[in-house]
Amino acid sequence: MLLLCNYYVTYRCNAYCEFCHFGDHTNFKDTPFAKLHEFKSNVEQLAKLGVKFIDLTGGEPLLHKDIHLMAEFVHNLKMQTSITTNTLLYPKFAEKLAGKINLLHFSLDSPDEEEHNRIRKVDCFNSIFKSIKIAKSLDEFPDILFTVTNETFKKLPRMHELAAKHDLVLLVNPVFSYFGNSGLTQEAVNYVDEYCDGKMDVYLNKAFMKLRRDGGNDINNPSCKAVSRVVVISPENEIILPCYHFANDKIKIDRPISEIRKSDKLKYFMKNEGKFDFCQGCTVNCYFEPSFAFPTNLYAISSLTSKFKYSYNKLVKQKIKKKLIPKSENK
């Protein structure tokens, strides 16, 4: 059952994060943007196929000049949307995006300005807090997304304090291993898991931590549903298989997506999802989040418990704040 589309609207990025290998900086001028008419056609088809959630991702998604039109189109189809941004361009798009993004994540890598800017290799620390103020003035409640690494995990308490100061949820994103990037050590896993336990305004998918303790995906008993529950679309209008991080093949979207989903090539990848040699030990959060969507194992149960807590904070408490706090107090 398809649930999620990770739609890469561009691979371009205006930051150079140490832990990230998504952004394309080497061929910046030649890196394409997703075409708006292709995006609309694809998303409309995905809605009919049952996809509920579109992650507008990159690169830096706000580099796409039509990102607000994309968000509006998805919103009008009654689908859920998410955007994660370094916020450098958020002030430009804030009003155009207001009310159209269900999960708006502002990336912050450290509570220390110097360290955050060093990790990002661009001066964007102050932009985050400027963007928080703008977002709140528009009745938006972004999450602060903290990608935890082996170098920053002990900054978690201060990150929590910072998020609480702004009445926002801290979304803890444990770094994963791919493209030669090292994942979290067991010390970091234990520290993060213990600190986040029981804290209502901190979201950590507990299933991610259990998966890491268990050594990641087991190709003999795979947990990954990266093909059956997720569709990944590139800026070049291709479906990437089995996932973006371990792209092994691509299918050009030159016919209805429903036909592509029935093709022999896609069936092959679906049959073997989580079973390829490169799938061994995988902990890529982007694909295990939807993989754990239904309570079929301990990972899924742990994941659902975390999501219930997040939903309470994000969708209930913050809606109450919108009603109780005059907009002028957010400015």
Q: Which residue has the higher pLDDT, 19 or 249?
A: 249
Q: What is the pLDDT of residue 331?
A: 44
Q: Which domains does the chain carry?
A: 4-330 (3.20.20.70)
Burial (Cβ within 10 Å: 0-12, 13-18, ≥19) of residue 26:
exposed
Name the percent of the chain lying above pLDDT 70. 89
pLDDT value, residue 157: 98
pLDDT at 121: 86
The answer to whether residue 18 scores a pLDDT higher than 80 is: no
Give whole-number Cα distances, 93 to 14, 135, 198, in Å. 16, 10, 35
Q: Write b or e for each residue in 248-272: b if 16 or more Cβ atoms lie within 10 A of its Cβ, otherwise e.
A: eeebebeeebeebbeeeebeebbee
The rounded distance, in Å, linking the Cα atoms of 196 and 192 is 6
Q: Give pTM, 2 decimals.
A: 0.92
Identify the pLDDT of residue 57: 95
Residue 309: strand pairing partners: none
* Pick from 214, 216, 215, 196: nearest CA to 206: 196
- Write the CA distances from 63 to 69, 128, 144, 150, 294, integer angstroms: 13, 16, 20, 29, 34
SS3 303: helix
% residues pLDDT > 90 (the chain):
73
pLDDT tens digits, residue range 293-321?
887 788 888 888 788 778 777 666 566 65
Give the rounded distance of the alpha carbon of 150 from its chain centre.
20
pLDDT tens per residue, range 189-200: 999 999 999 898
